[in-house]
Amino acid sequence: MKRTIHIGYWIRSGLLLLALIYLLPTKGQSVESVRERYFVLDETTCEFQEFLQYLEDTGNPVLLAYEGAALAASAACEEGPLRKLKQFNLGKHKLEKAVDLMADNIEVRFLRYAVKVKAPNILGYNDLADDEEFVVKVLLENSENIDLFLYHEIIRFLLAHADLSSEERKILTKKSNRDG
């Protein structure tokens, strides 16, 4: 009888512990939550620095790409040119690592492309063609599996910044109305 009580105690304790773990607040490290938070950041107010506090190192290449993009963008908020360069290079390194890990992922490639577009030319991180070509090709040929929110953000950015042919621009403008 004592043994049954002892096992019951551990079962109840285990269930209570699982319930507590489930109810504890988390940083919400899903790609979806990070994505939605990233795209509403205002780069003129240094919100990227706050965003970096939100991120955790999960080993996920997509989240690594968001961290790299945020680090690169937050470089503008650093004091002095050496600190700015160091912060930008740290972000660039994380973006490149994410691409090495997941080169066929449109989200990772888009984030690197967006950072390159926004980077000052003096940094030499402006070889846009490969990423732009990859992202546009995926959107034009195989966009069914892309998250709808991400899909619209990528198209919005490309229409504003990419060197698109008139046909690509026309198609992407039409696609921007997909489900939205």
DSSP assignment of 117-151 equals HHS-GGG-----HHHHHHHHHHHHH--TTS-HHHH
> Is residue 2 situated within a structural domain?
no
Which pTM value belongs to this model?
Answer: 0.80
95-142 residue pLDDT tens: 999 999 999 999 999 999 999 999 998 888 888 899 999 999 999 998
Q: Report yes or no on 25 lying in a domain.
A: no
**Angstrom distance (rounded) from CA 98 to CA 176:** 27
Tell me which residue range forms the domain holding 105.
30-175
* Domain count of the fold of the chain: 1
Round to the nearest angstrom and report the end-to-end CA distance of the chain: 63
Is residue 127 domain-resident?
yes
Judge whether 150 lies within some domain. Answer: yes
Say if 7 falls within a structural domain: no
